[in-house]
Chain A
Amino acid sequence: MKRTRINKMKTVFDSDSRNESFARYAVTAFIARLDPDVSELADIRTAVSEAVTNAIIHGYRGKEGNVTVEVCTYSDRSVRITVSDRGCGIADIEQAKLPLFTTDESGERGGMGFAIMESFSDRLKVRSRVGYGTVVTMTKKLK
């Protein structure tokens, strides 16, 4: 049976680090109707947090901009989350996805962002163009 879309939401907010928690709450509130279990919810919260943090600190690098989070839920209980920015973009996506790869020189960021997004979702897709921005799409099917 072909899956159909049940519901969709879109939220746009400033690239301010205070909005990392807002994004997590918005997404978890939206998918609550699918009644995800505790571990599914924890995985989604973490994956969203990583994607939004990346957009704020790597995409915009402290500059002002908009981060867009879109969530679609489907009849087969899958959830698709898209986090996009119009920041600086990623030159080498494969390199950025490597665990422990980081452009941060303070030693305080572990370079685990994409590894966590990949591991905490079923599918991760990253599209990016230098100077134009990045779109991260994560899909997870709930039990």
Chain B
Amino acid sequence: MNGNEMALNYKQVSVTLDEDGECVCFLRGELDHHSVKEIREVIDGKLIDYRPTSVVFDLDEVTFTDSAGLGLVLGRYTRISSYGGKLMLINVPDDFMKILRLSGADRFLTIRGRGSKTA
């Protein structure tokens, strides 16, 4: 994404799909009950249309999350798993990781990078 696009049309999610069926969702900004609605619609649209077998959520630029972000991840996990796809979270910020741990979701989600590192 170029700078102009970012400034003029700030989107909290951008999705890329490649020919091998891999889908990368790059999430940005604050994830709360208000903002996840639109993000969810965008991602679910792609899941329904393309049924990607491998989905990556890149959370590098997520600056805030509460249980709505957790719900976004778990809802997509259920959807993707239902057709046999895999979901992976990468670059998970520490505070997001804290919520994943509290819910126990870290035990079944595939998580790579940043907060996922264990000592």
Residues of chain B contacted by A53 (CB below 8 angstroms): 32-33, 66-68
Binds A, one of B1-9, B10-18, B52-60, B95-103: B95-103
Chain A residues lying within 8 Å of B117, measured Cβ to Cβ, are: none
- Report whether over half of chain B's contact residues are helix, strand or loop; otherwise say mixed: helix
Q: Count residues of A near B (Cβ-Cβ below 8 Å).
A: 24
Knowing A46-B99, A99-B103 touch, does A116 contact B66 (C-beta < 8 A)?
yes
Known: A116-B99, A116-B102. A110 touches B34 (CB 8 A): no
CB distance from B103 to the nearest CB of A (A): 5
Q: Are A50 and B66 in contact (CB under 8 A)?
A: yes
Residue of A nearest to B40 (CB): A108
Choose the segment among A4-12, A13-21, A135-143 that binds chain B (4+ C-beta atoms closer than 8 Å): A13-21
Interface size on B, residues (CB 8 A): 24
Decide if B70 touches A115 in the complex (CB within 8 Å): no
Binding site for B on A (CB under 8 A): 17-18, 20-21, 24, 39, 42, 45-46, 49-50, 53, 56-57, 99, 107-110, 112-113, 115-116, 119
Which residues of B approach A to under 8 Å, CB–CB?
A: 30, 32-36, 40, 64-68, 70-72, 74-75, 78, 94-95, 98-99, 102-103
